Structure 1
Amino acid sequence: LRFEQEAKLLKKSVAQVARREKRIQDQELEIKNLEVLLETEAEMKRAVEGKNAELVRELEDIRFEARGGTWTFPTGTGIQRGI
């Protein structure tokens, strides 16, 4: 009878350890997925920032051309863009 009780407790402990191990593996996978997601978002942010800088330069060029190729300063004086 005592052997059967110990065997039952051992099986219960083994099952409990297996559940914990599964939970740990699931958490590790979740962490890995979040790290990949974070890196992807960081890459997207860098790409968007690069595109934004490019668009700002294009907008500045368009404004420059719309003013007849003259940079205007707050003082009201202008200079020709040397190309």
Structure 2
Amino acid sequence: MESKIHLAGFRKEIPDIMKTIDVLLTLSLWEGFGIVLIEAMASGKPCVAANTSSIPEIVEDGVNGFLVPPKDSQAIAK
């Protein structure tokens, strides 16, 4: 799995990093705002996010990203 997923930690060069990704997954159970979703959208990257806390205020399912039920690996895989 390490060859497929990279956990970068805190970074300052977000626009450069966004250029390298294919899709952004935000699957946390709680988000204060979800700025990483805004950054990915600004970079034109597709987003898949857990339908929880403030995320639906940012992601409109099927319009600017996809919402999945929290902890639902089958929905995430689709």
Larger radius of gyration: 1
Which has the larger strand fraction? 2
Which has the larger helix fraction? 1
Whose RCO is larger (CA < 8 A, sep 6+)?
A: 2
TM-score w.r.t. length of structure 1: 0.16
TM-score w.r.t. length of structure 2: 0.17
